[in-house]
Amino acid sequence: MQNGKISLFQYYCLLVLYSLNSSVVLGLALSDVKQDAWLTVLIGNGLGILFLTLYGVLYLFHPNLSLVALIKHLLGEKIGGFIIFLYIIYFILIGAFVIRNIGEVINFYFLQQSNIPVLNLLVILVVVYTVSLGIEVIARTGELSFYAVIFLLILLFILVALADILKFDHLFPVLDHGVFDIATASYPLAISMPFGELFVFMMIFPHVSSKHKMIRVSVLGLLTTGFIILLFTVINIAALGPFIVEHAPFPTMRMIQKINIGDFIQRVDPIGVFIMLTCSYFKVLILVYAITQSLKKVFVRSTTNKYFILVAAIFIYYASFNIVDSLNEHLSLEDNVIPYFINTPFELLIPLLLFVVVVIRKSKFLKTGNN
């Protein structure tokens, strides 16, 4: 599984699917700036590009090492092993929230009396099987799914335009809450989910066939994601108004429910749910793959991937319905705790530390060579 190779386009597809996950359908929680939320998406996307460029440059210093291998190489066996262990917990936590989102959306819109742990278990079983087939199968499946998701997104745009539900006066006045509020909303909330979470792709970088174009493709992938999220943010505000966007648990799904073309084309919720499920599925795939490779690096004596995949899946499944008890707690934790106290150190502070260590080592090596 660790030796597979994927093309640049397959990497681009995985990047877009991972970044979109639930951000398009569930919407970004940027209630503090109301109708100016689209501005925070722009700023968050720009900062996300800087973050991903940092990850790419960090990787290019040691192009044959994945994230966990790089951490161990730079920080040593003990400190590096401890940081890797923390990243395993981080990946499990993010995966658990994605799985919980899947169960909540299905339960909220389709199977109101269904058991969320059972729904989560079905998703996890499919994830375990797919990850066991290797990174190349994940990439090929992602490439096919990418076309389906883009087609459905375009279809949604067309349906929204034909439904005549947009009122663009909801977007005004611009900058009503001031530049400071927009800046504070942009970081960490608008960048950490989804743009900052792309740090996990350092586990995928070694598999990309053409490494010298990887940063360029990464930026293109983030621009694609940012454009789609920006469009849906504007559409949500224009269709629902800032008040509903602020208080609805799933604003994009609420917007989709308003589509009604001639009393003939309506109830197109399954389109939104399919997009969300597909993107979230690939996000969990990549996270489980990252956990599996991290566990292999910690327990170097073991070579059996399947056991590590099962361990990763079990922990994600268990955490998905034991971290919080209700949907409100789940959304509150995602908005008020995760971005500030978990995403920031793992997505920014530790990568910056690694970058500083790399630069110091390189400068010492150059000085030694000159002497």
Q: Tell me the whole-structure pTM to 2 decimals.
A: 0.90
CA gap 333, 255 in Å, rounded: 24
* Dihedral angle, C-alpha 268, 100, 341, 131, nearest 10 °: -100
C-alpha Rg value of the chain to the nearest Å: 21
Q: Structure tokens of 208?
A: 């990309």
Q: Is residue 332 part of a domain?
A: yes
CA gap 99, 173 in Å, rounded: 37
Q: Is residue 303 part of a domain?
A: yes
* Dihedral angle, C-alpha 30, 33, 38, 43, nearest 10 °: -80
Q: Which of 158, 74, 125 is nearest to 314 (CA)?
A: 125
Q: Which of 157, 214, 183, 154 is nearest to 10 (CA)?
A: 214
Contact between residue 255 and residue 287 where contact means Cβ atoms under 8 Å apart: no
Q: Is residue 314 part of a domain?
A: yes
Q: Is residue 357 part of a domain?
A: yes
CA gap 140, 167 in Å, rounded: 40
Give the number of other Cβ atoms within 10 Å of residue 101's Cβ: 24
pLDDT for position 363? 79
Q: Is residue 160 part of a domain?
A: yes
Q: Which of 49, 53, 63, 55 is nearest to 209 (CA)?
A: 63
Give the number of other Cβ atoms within 10 Å of residue 321's Cβ: 19
The DSSP string of 286-336 is: HHHHHHHHHHHHHSTT---HHHHHHHHHHHHHHHHTTS-SSHHHHHHHHHH
Residue 130 maps to which CATH number? 1.20.1740.10
Mean pLDDT in consecutive groups of 10 residues from the start of the chain, 371 residues: 79 92 63 75 82 84 86 88 91 90 78 77 92 93 95 93 88 77 67 70 88 87 90 89 80 87 85 89 94 83 74 91 74 74 83 88 69 54
Q: Is residue 3 part of a domain?
A: no
pLDDT for position 1? 45
Task: Say which DSSP state 322 is in.
Answer: T
- Its domain, for residue 67, covers 8-370
How many domains is the chain built from? 1
pLDDT for position 296? 84
Q: Is residue 184 part of a domain?
A: yes
pLDDT for position 137? 93
